[in-house]
Amino acid sequence: GTLRGLAVAGARPGHLAEPGRIMGWLNQLLDATAQPALGSAVCCRFDPATHLLTWAQAGHPAPLLFRDGTGRALTSPHGVLLGATSGAAYEQADEQLRPGDLLLLHTDGLVPRRDRDTATGLLLSLASRFTGARTAQDCVRTVVEEFGEAPREDDACLLVARV
């Protein structure tokens, strides 16, 4: 929540900063705090006119793209954990989305007690169930039904968006 607040505070009306630049700002802010802190984050910007998604990450799981009954993790641009390296640069990537695509963003605590590759595989295995979902909210329900009852060692957050 704190990083999100800092990111929003750094955004200016009428000015859409590049996701990689926002990550750099957040890293500088964490680096300047009195108490050392680390955090992972993903920052996405979607242009509804062109359906172009531009995104950057800092040690965070890649967004998952579901299209035509299959899913895949987006290829992650380079980005270290926020607060880990002073002056770190954050690359960004573009992904052309299509109407009907489903984008799933999540924290690593969503699928408990799993390494990142296994967690990604389990989420991608839900592709056929997402195909029949009428809304993004239905997709959230599917994920909660699958993983909601499991005990967690970390926080869990999920965002689903349909283009």
The whole-number pLDDT of residue 92 equals 97
Instruction: Give per-residue pLDDT as tens, 15-63.
Output: 568 899 999 989 988 888 778 788 899 999 999 999 999 999 999 999 9
Q: Determine the Cα–Cα distance for residues 57 and 59; give it in Å rounded to an integer.
A: 6
Tokens found for residue 146: 């699958």
Q: Which CATH class is domain 2-162?
A: alpha beta
Instruction: Give per-residue pLDDT as tens, 62-112.
Output: 999 999 999 999 999 999 999 998 889 999 999 999 999 999 999 877 776
Q: Is 72:64 a contact under the CB 8 Å cutoff?
A: yes
The whole-number pLDDT of residue 31 equals 82
Hey, is 6 helix, strand or coil?
helix
∠ CA 138-140-144, rounded to 5°: 115
**How would DSSP label each residue in 73-127?**
EPPPPP-PPBTTSTT-----EEEE--TT-EEEEE-TTSSTT--HHHHHHHHHTTH
Q: Is 61:119 a contact under the CB 8 Å cutoff?
A: yes
Tokens found for residue 94: 């573009």
Listed by start position, the domains of the chain span 2-162
Q: Determine the Cα–Cα distance for residues 43 and 4; give it in Å rounded to an integer.
A: 9
Instruction: Give per-residue pLDDT as tens, 63-74.
Output: 999 999 999 999
Q: Which residue has the tokens 């989420």?
A: 123
Of 113 and 138, the structure prediction assigns the larger pLDDT to: 138
Hey, is 158 helix, strand or coil?
strand
